[in-house]
Amino acid sequence: MAPLLHVDNLTIRFPRAEPVSNLSFEIAEGETLAIVGESGSGKSLTALALMQLLPRAAKVASGRIRFNGRDLLQLDAREMRRLRGSEIAMIFQEPMTSLNPVMTIGRQIAEVLKVHERLSGRAARKRAIELLELVRIPAPEKRVDDYPHQLSGGMRQRVMIAMAVACKPKLLIADEPTTALDVTIQAQVLDLLDTLRRELQMAVVLITHDLGVVSQWADKVVVMYAGRKVEQALPGDLFNDPLHPYTRGLLAASPRLKNDFHYRDGALTEIPGSIVSAAGEAGCPFRPRCDQARASCGQRVPQLTIPAPDRLVACPFTSSIKAVPHAAAFSL
Amino acid sequence: MPALVRIGRTLRRTLLQAIPTMLGIVILNFFLLQLAPGDAADVMAGEAGSATEESMAALRSRFGLDNPVLVQLMHYLNNLAHFSLGFSPRYGMPVADLIGQRLPGTLTLMAVALVIAICLGVVLGSLMATFAGRLPDRLLSIFSLLFYSIPSFWIGLMLIIFFSVKLGWLPSGGSGTIGSRLTGWSAFVDKARYMVLPATSLALFYVAIYARLTRASMLEVKNQDFVRTAYAKGLTPFGVTARHILRNALIPITTMAGMHIGGMLGGAVVVETVYSWPGLGRLAFEAVMGRDFTVLLGILLLSSLLVIIANAVVDLVHAWLDPRIGAR
Amino acid sequence: MSSTDIGTFHSVARTPYASSAEAEPPVTSNPADGPAWSNVKAPDARSQQSSTVTVTNGRRALKVFLSNPNALFGTSFLVFVIVIALLAPVLYPDDPLSMVGRPFLWPGQDSAFPLGTDSLGRDVLSGILHGSRISLFVGLTATALGLTFGVLVGSLAGYFGGWVDDVLVRLIEIFQTLPSFVLLVVLVAIAQPSATTVTLAIAVISWPTVARLTRAEFRAIREKDFVMAARSLGYGHARIIFREILPNALPPIIVTSSVMVATAILMESALSFMGLGDPNVVSWGSMIGTGRELVRTAWYLTALPGLAIVFTVLALNLIGDGLNDALNPRFSQDR
C-alpha cells in the first residue's frame, strides 16, 4: 500500500547553512512516526517544510514531499492553502502564544471550519463545542466564549488540537506538543492525541526530544542528527539494540529508561561536545563527538544501510551490541 | 468576563486618576490668569474708552478683584463648580456660552481629521509593513517623514492656493455657503466641501505618525506564534492579515489616538485661523489678538478637560479591544 | 502640534528600517509564508536575551549613522542651514525688513532679487537667510533648556521613586494634558512676545516628554547590577545619577533631542505666523503670515519660506531617524 506521506531526499538551505540534508522517510495511514533529535537537528524545520511554512530565508534546495500522491513542493499557494488545516494539520510547541489573544477560542476553532467546510456561523459554533468536548475540555458550552488567557497551558494545547483535527486531517504534525507542559498534563495530551489518531484514522508525525514519549506512543522512530537521518527503527528495536553511536549516547544519557539503574551504580554518560561541532564536517556529522570515530569517518557522509528488517542506520562501523559479550551502551 | 465589567473597572480607575490632574490644571490656570497683564476691570475700562482711578477701584472691589489671592481662588473654583468660566466684555457673553458655540465646529473638524489620519495612516503603514525593507517601504517612509515635517498652517495655505485659487474646486474658507438654505443631502455635501481642506491640513501631520505606528506594530505582530498558527489553518494571507494581524496591531494605534487630541487642538488653532473656520481655535486666535485672557484661559481649561475625556475614552476603547485588560 | 507626539513617534519606530547591510532576502513565490518564526528551534537552542545593559559602542553607532544616506543628507542640509545662518549678516548686512526694491517682483524676474520681493519691496532671499537665524536660535536654545530641565526632573523621579516620583509624575501629567500649542500661545501672550519669551515658552512645553523618557530609562537602569555595585561602594546619589546611570540612559534622549529641535522650529514658525513672534525680527513664519493675504497673486511669498521650514525640519527628522537606527539595539531574530 502506498504510504500516505513520502519525504524523499529533502534538503533545506539557509544562506549560510544546510539545516536539513537528504532526509527521507515514510508514514503510512494511521501510523505514528516519531522524529527524535536534539535542538538544532532540523526536526522543526522538517515539520514546517511539510506544511510549506518555512521562514522566508529558508529554501528547499532539493527533494520531494509526496502526500497522497501529490508533490507538495510543486503545488501553488492556493492548492497548498486548501490542504493546510483540512488534510494536513499542525500543532505547535508553545500553547501560551500560539493562540490569537483577542479572539475567543470558539471563534478560532470555527474559523477553520468556515474556511474549509464552509459552515455557517451557527453550525460552526456548534461543531466547535463538539470539538471542545472531543478534546475533553470540561463545560465546553461555557468555555467556547473564553479567551486564551483564561485557560491553562494544557487546556490551550487541547484547543490547538481541536483546531487541528476539526476537519479530520489525514496527517497531523505535532511539533514538541508537550514540551512546554507539566509532566502530568503531558501524559494526558499524548493520550488524547493517540485516541484521536485511532478514531480519525489519522497519521501523526510526533516531533520530540523526549525518548520516554517515543517509547510509549510511536510506531516508528527516526533519529535525526544535524539535519540527517542517522537511524530508523521500531521503538522496541531501538531501545533494546541501538545501532548508531549517537542513539546509544542518547539512550545512555537518558535516566528515565534505565529503570533499574540507580545513581549509586555509576555516573550518567553524556555525549561530549555539542551539535554545533557538526558544522563544516565533510564526513559524518557526528564524528567530532563519536568515541568510535575512525579516519574514514571524516571523508564521506555515511549512507544509510539496512542491517535488519525495518531498520536503517547511517554508520558503517556499528554492529549489534547483542553480538558483543560485555558491551554496554551504559558505561560504568 | 463580560466586557462591561472590564470596561467599567477601567473607567473607574481612569476617572480617579484624572481628578488630581484636573485640579492641578485648574489651579495652574488660575495663576496664569493672575499673571496676565490687565484684569477684567482693565478690559472693561478699555471697552468703555476710559475710566478714572475711582471707578476702576470701584469696579475692582465689585468684582472682588482686590481680594487676597486665595479668596479669589475660592471664587474661581466656586464659579467653575457652577460651570461659569467668566464673562467676556468683548463678546458680551459668558465665556462658557462663547466656547459652547464654537466647540462643535472644532470637534467636527478634529473628528474628521482623525478619521482621515487613521485611515490613510493605517493603509500606508500596512503597505510599508508588507514591503518592509524594500523600495516601496523606503519611499513611503520618506513620504511620511515629509508629511511630518510640514507645518499645518503652511500646507493649509498651499492647499488653498492649489485647490481653491488655481483649480477653483474647493472653497478657501468658512464653514458653509453663506446665505444658502440647503437641507438634507445637499447641506451635507456643502459642509463637506468646506471641511475637506482644513481637515486634511490638520490630518497630514498625524498620517505620518499612524503610518509609522502601524508599520512597527504590524511587523511585531507578524512574527508572533499565533500568526503562524493562522497560516497553518490554511487561511489566505488576506484573511490572516485582516482577522489576526490587524486586530492585534490596531490596539496600540487606538491607544495612540487619544494622545493626539491635545496636539490636534493646537493644530486646530492655526488651521482654523487659516481657513476662517468657526471653532475654538479661531476663537483662541481672536482672543490673543484682542488680549482677552479670560476667554483664552477658558479655552485652555476646557481643552485640557477635552484631553482628559479623550484619554478616558481611549482607555475604554482599549479595554474593549483587548480582553486581557481589566481582567483581574 | 505637540511635543508629546514627537516622543511617541520615535519610540514607536523602534523597529528599524532594514539598512542595506541587513537587507531581507528576496520573497519566495509564496509571500504568505514569509516571516521568520522565532522559535523554529527547540527552546534550549534559542539564544539567551541578555539581561545586562547593552553597551552602545559609540564608534559603531557613528559608523551606522554615517552609512545611512538619509541621515547623511539630513546632516549636510542642516550644516548648510547653519552656515547660512552664520553668514547671513555677511551676505546681506542690511536689515531684511528694509525696503530695497520694487514690490511684487517674482522670483527670477530681477537678478538682484533672486527670490523676488514682497508687497513692501523687501527682499525675500534676505528674509529667508535671516529667518534661518531666529529659527535655529530658538530651536537649539529651547531644546537645550527643555532637555536640561526635563532630564533633571526625569532622572530625579526615576532614581528616587517614592513620593518624589509621585509628585513629579503628577507634574509631568499636568503639562502633558494641557494642549501644548494652546499653552504656548497663552504663555507667549501673557509674557509679551519676544525671542526670549518664545524660547522660554517652547522650553516649558517641551520638557515633559524628555522627562518622561528619562524617567523610564532611569527606572529600568536603576535595577541593574552595576548601580547596586556603585551604591555599595558608597557613591553619593549625585555621582550615581550623573556618572553611572545618565551616560547609559543617553541614547534615546539623544534621538529625542533632534526631534525636539524640529518641533521647536515648527512651533516658533507657527507663533510668528500668528503674530506672536518677536516683532523686531524676520522669521520664516512671519513671512508666511504677511504673505497670507496675497495668496491669489503673490503665492511665492507663502511658498518659499514654507519650503525653507519644511526642508530644515525634514533634515532634522532624517537625522533623528538615523540616530535612532544607530543607537537603538536591533531586535535580532534567529533564523
Tens-of-pLDDT digits for all 335 residues of chain C? 444 444 444 444 443 333 333 333 333 333 333 344 444 433 333 333 333 444 556 778 788 888 888 888 899 999 999 998 888 888 888 787 788 878 888 887 777 788 888 888 888 888 899 999 999 999 999 999 999 999 999 999 988 888 999 899 999 989 988 999 999 999 998 888 889 999 999 999 999 999 999 999 888 888 888 888 888 888 888 888 888 888 888 888 988 999 999 999 999 999 999 989 888 888 999 999 988 888 888 888 889 999 999 999 999 999 998 888 888 755 332 22
Instruction: DSSP letter for B162, please.
Output: I
Q: What is the mean pLDDT of residues B96-104?
A: 88
A51-65 pLDDT, tens digit per residue, is: 988 888 888 989 999
- Set of chain B residues whose Cβ sits within 8 Å of the Cβ of C313: 149-151
pLDDT at B40 over 70: no
Looking at the partner chain, which of B224, B322, B327 has a beta carbon nearest the beta carbon of A97? B224
Contact C181 B220 (CB under 8 A): no
Closest partner residue to C42 among A48, A80, A176, by Cβ? A176
The pTM (predicted TM-score) of the whole model is 0.77
C335 closest CB neighbour out of A14, A93, A209? A14
Quote the distance between the C-alpha of residue A40 and its chain's center.
Answer: 13
Name residue A126's amino acid.
Answer: K
What percentage of chain B has pLDDT greater than the value 70? 90
The one-letter amino acid code at C303 reads: A
Minimal CA separation from A221 to chain C, in Å: 19
ipTM: 0.85
Domain ranges of chain C: 64-86+114-334
- Chain B nearest-CA distance from A103, in A, is 8
The distance from CA C159 to its chain's CA centroid, rounded to whole angstroms, is 25
Q: What mean pLDDT is predicted for residues B97-104?
A: 89
Cell 480582553 -> residue? B323
CB contact under 8 A, B228 and C35: yes
Residue from B148, B261, B309, B311 to probe the interface with C (highest C Cβ count within 10 Å): B148
Please give the single-letter amino acid code of residue B182.
Answer: L
Evaluate whether C36 touches A45 at the Cβ level (below 8 Å): no
Q: C235-238 contacts: CB < 8 A, separation 24 or more? A: C237/C159, C237/C160
Strand partners, A90: A173
Across the strands, what pairs with A36?
Answer: A208, A223
Cα nearest neighbour of B261 on chain C: C179
C329 CA to chain A: closest CA distance, Å? 22
Options 1.10.10.350, 3.40.470.10, 1.10.3720.10, 3.90.79.10; CATH for C64-86+114-334 is 1.10.3720.10
* Angle, alpha carbons A291-A294-A299 (nearest 5°): 125
Domain assignments of chain A as residue spans, ordered by start: 94-166, 244-330
C18 touches chain A (CB under 8 A): no
pLDDT (0 to 100) of residue A133: 92
CA distance C212 to B61: 44
A96 close to A156: Cβ distance less than 8 angstroms: yes
pLDDT (mean) for B115-132: 90
Cβ of B243 and A97 within 8 Å?
A: no
B45 in reach of chain C (CB within 8 A) = no
List the single best residue of C182, C268, C311 to mutate versus B (max B Cβ within 10 A).
Answer: C182
Asked whether B228 and A92 are in contact (CB, 8 A), the reply is yes
Please check whether residue B227 is in contact with residue B241, taking contact to mean a CB–CB distance below 8 angstroms. no
CB contact under 8 A, B247 and A85: no
> Among partner residues C185, C295, C306, which is closest to B151 by beta-carbon distance?
C306
Cα A116 to Cα A35: distance, rounded to the nearest angstrom: 29
For residue A161, the model assigns a pLDDT of 93
Do the Cβ atoms of C56 and C90 come closer than 8 Å? no
Which of C:182-201 have CB within 8 Å of B?
A: 182-187, 189-190, 192
